[in-house]
């Protein structure tokens, strides 16, 4: 009996221990359930909901770029694309074979599709072909029963109505890089493009817009069950440019087949009305991807179609620089308007002879006639008296050799040498360097855009800056007021003397560019010719009647012309550079004349609506 009682006591203690352990376990489980279901219930409900609901971004429409009259120069078109959902295809290979019979697929395209199918889950769509034509899309839809897994989707693609005519200004878009995707998750969406050049790049934050979102109910493996909610994104902002697209086409037409560039400004406020570069390229090719053959064709072309020559091409300014030298001499009192300098056809300095372009010389000339005749000897002497540092300072004031406030990535400022720069190179500046700078040669480099700015500043006396943006989202930029730009603070008398010399170049007998005289009643243009050498002409060549037009194209001088009009109320300024055009008077001046006739006839700076004879590829917004 005692043993039974002892055994029973042991059982009771064990039962109590087991019961206690069970009670403790159930207590802990109850506490955990309370924490999960009550204390943190909202948190876990949210996590569960997020597993059930997938939120995906929706790409917004990209903002448009418009010309000054509201005509789209960069817009959006529907982009039909074929997608493949592998789980809906009995055989991916068989589906692709059937698709290729309707829309041919290159070997590298098929390899890319098969690689994407292997990398993604089979219910995730893979792009088979973008940029389908209407005919291709229709063939796919008609043959849909024979294309299991193929679906047609619609997105947007960038469209450039004016094509190469505005490529260097508008720029282009291209697929985002991996680095781009890190800054904005929206850039990982299919079909998204980012600005890579021109105004597309400068205004990228405004044009991109903000992504929308769609809520989708998904199952455990992520397959879409149904759409629960959709919030469309915020479209990108439209940006209106200062460019007149039709004028741009006309300017490009005047450049013809030449490798050349031209810039037209509103001289009062610096608005760029046209900025043409020839040859150019089709910007839409970057949207879909540039082939290696096309890239090699562009990069091997010695006329460099990818370079914006108007804003990034560097040239010696030649005799157009004499405007700056004249102003520097007058402001420094190194010369007065009435001083007369004799030109026998050359200037000897030590053992070096510096020639005038006119072999017999011009005789005695004052400043006005020095500009009118573009006498090299006259400006050799003016430069010698003035000095390179004063000339460089004046060039900078006229927008040469300094950065300009233009919204184009890659725009260059050119270069104006100084004595300090030469010494920093470990070399001495000599008087010969100053003399050749007096006629715009030597170390000087400028862009056509900066030459147009120079012409605008001499015409108006205001320190205008060039700009391409007229309005963003319907709100006009403040730079479009002439009052936004300060006076240059130069002598009005000196400016008038230089303007009179430029007027005489075009309108007076024996000027260097009578061919540039405007065929318009009661309207006159002032201008200055220039011809800049790309290789030195020896004394022996000069003595034997050397003619630069006999040289191979790439060794001929560049032809330049700058101008403003009307001379009594300056409103428009322009610059034309014809690469290896030989003589500014023969090659560039007639182009500038024709451009100015179009500009004055259209008068875009004084219009809110285009003239009635407008013919454009776009339509007003």
Task: For the beta carbon of residue 369, count every other beta carbon within 10 angstroms.
Answer: 19
Residues for the chain: how many in total?
Answer: 621
User: What separation in angstroms does the CA of 276 have from each of 364, 421, 519, 561?
Assistant: 40, 33, 23, 15
- Helices (H) and strands (E) counted in the chain, each on its own, are 23, 21
Give the whole-angstrom CA distance, residue 482 versus residue 478.
10
Within the chain, which residue ranges are assigned CATH 3.40.710.10? Answer: 245-279+308-469+484-606
What confidence score (pLDDT) does residue 443 get? 94
208: tokens are 């991109």
Long-range contacts of 296-300 (CB under 8 A, 24+ apart): none
**Exposed/middle/buried for residue 316 (C-beta within 10 Å: 0-12, 13-18, 19+):** buried
**Exposed/middle/buried for residue 568 (C-beta within 10 Å: 0-12, 13-18, 19+):** exposed
Helix axis angle, 492-507 relative to 322-331, nearest 10°?
A: 150
The superfamily (CATH) of domain 245-279+308-469+484-606 is DD-peptidase/beta-lactamase superfamily (3.40.710.10)
Give the whole-angstrom CA distance, residue 513 versus residue 374.
10
For the chain, list residues with pLDDT below 70: 1-11, 13, 31-58, 123-124, 178, 181-183, 188-191, 213-230, 535-548, 613-621
**Percent helix, strand and coil across the chain, each rounded to 5?**
45, 20, 35
What confidence score (pLDDT) does residue 81 get? 82
Exposure on the CB side of residue 110, measured as CA atoms within 13 A: 15
Contact 409, 202 (CB under 8 A): yes
**Residues labelled as active-site residues:** 319
Q: How far apart are the first and last CA of the chain?
A: 109
* Whole-structure pTM value: 0.82
Long-range contacts of 433-437 (CB under 8 A, 24+ apart): 433/388, 434/383, 434/384, 434/387, 434/388, 434/391, 435/347, 435/349, 435/354, 435/380, 435/383, 435/384, 436/354, 437/321, 437/325, 437/383, 437/388, 437/391
- Nearest alpha carbon to residue 68 among 169, 194, 153: 169
Contact 171, 197 (CB under 8 A): yes
For the domain with range 56-241, which CATH number is right: 3.30.390.30, 3.30.43.10, 2.102.10.10, 3.90.1310.10? 3.90.1310.10
Within the chain, which residue ranges are assigned CATH 3.90.1310.10? Answer: 56-241
Contact 130, 83 (CB under 8 A): no
């Amino acid at each position: 009996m005692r043993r039974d009682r002892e055994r029973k006591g042991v059982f009771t203690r064990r039962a109590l221990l087991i019961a206690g352990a069970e009670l403790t376990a159930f207590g802990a489980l109850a506490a955990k359930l309370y924490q999960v279901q009550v204390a943190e219930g909202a948190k876990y409900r949210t996590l569960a909901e997020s597993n059930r609901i997938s939120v995906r971004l929706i790409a917004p429409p990209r903002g448009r770029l418009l010309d000054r009259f509201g005509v789209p120069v960069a817009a959006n078109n529907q982009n039909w694309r074929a997608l493949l959902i592998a789980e809906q295809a009995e055989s991916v290979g068989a589906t692709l074979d059937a698709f290729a019979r309707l829309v041919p697929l290159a070997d590298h395209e098929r390899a890319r599709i098969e690689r994407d199918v292997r990398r993604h889950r089979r219910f995730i769509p893979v792009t088979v072909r973008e940029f389908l034509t209407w005919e291709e899309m229709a063939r796919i839809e008609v043959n849909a029963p024979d294309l299991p897994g193929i679906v047609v989707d619609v997105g947007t693609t960038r469209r450039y109505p004016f094509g190469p005519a505005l490529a260097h200004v508008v720029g282009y878009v291209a697929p985002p890089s991996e680095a781009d995707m890190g800054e904005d998750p929206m850039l990982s969406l299919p079909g998204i493009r980012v600005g890579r050049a021109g105004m597309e790049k400068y205004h990228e934050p405004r044009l991109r817009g903000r992504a929308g979102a769609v809520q989708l109910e998904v199952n455990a493996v992520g397959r879409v069950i149904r759409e629960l909610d959709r919030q469309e994104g915020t479209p990108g902002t439209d940006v209106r440019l200062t460019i007149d697209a039709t004028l741009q086409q006309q300017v490009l037409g005047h450049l013809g087949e030449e490798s050349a560039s031209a810039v037209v400004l509103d001289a009062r406020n610096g608005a760029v009305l046209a900025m043409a570069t020839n040859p150019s390229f089709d910007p839409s090719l970057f949207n879909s991807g540039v082939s290696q053959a096309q890239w090699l064709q562009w990069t091997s072309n010695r006329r460099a179609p990818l370079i914006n020559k108007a804003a990034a091409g560097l040239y010696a300014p030649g005799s157009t620089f004499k405007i700056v030298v004249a102003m520097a001499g007058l402001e420094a009192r190194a010369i007065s308007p009435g001083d007369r300098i004799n030109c026998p056809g050359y200037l000897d300095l030590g053992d070096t002879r510096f020639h005038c372009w006119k072999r017999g010389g011009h005789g005695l000339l004052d400043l006005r006639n020095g500009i009118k005749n573009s006498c090299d000897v006259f400006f050799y002497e003016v430069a010698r008296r003035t000095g390179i540092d004063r000339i460089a300072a004046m060039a900078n004031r006229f927008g040469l050799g300094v950065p300009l406030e233009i919204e184009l990535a890659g725009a260059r400022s050119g270069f104006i040498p100084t004595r300090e720069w030469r010494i920093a190179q470990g070399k001495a500046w000599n008087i010969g360097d100053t003399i050749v700078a007096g006629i715009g040669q030597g170390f000087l480099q400028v862009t056509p855009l900066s030459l147009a700015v120079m012409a605008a500043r001499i015409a108006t006396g205001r320190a205008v800056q060039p700009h391409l943006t007229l309005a963003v989202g319907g709100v006009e930029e403040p730079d479009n007021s002439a009052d936004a730009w300060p006076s240059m603070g130069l002598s009005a008398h000196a400016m008038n003397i230089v303007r009179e010399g430029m007027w005489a170049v075009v309108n007076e007998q024996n000027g260097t560019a009578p061919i540039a005289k405007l065929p318009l009643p009661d309207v006159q243009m002032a201008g200055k010719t220039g011809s800049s050498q790309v290789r030195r002409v020896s004394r022996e060549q000069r003595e034997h009647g050397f003619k630069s037009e006999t040289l191979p194209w790439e060794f001929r001088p560049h032809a330049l012309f700058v101008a403003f009009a009307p001379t009594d109320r300056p409103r428009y300024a322009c610059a034309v550079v014809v690469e290896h055009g030989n003589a500014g008077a023969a090659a560039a001046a007639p182009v500038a004349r024709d451009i100015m006739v179009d500009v004055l006839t259209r008068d875009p700076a004084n219009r809110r609506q285009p003239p009635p004879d407008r013919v454009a590829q776009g339509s007003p917004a």
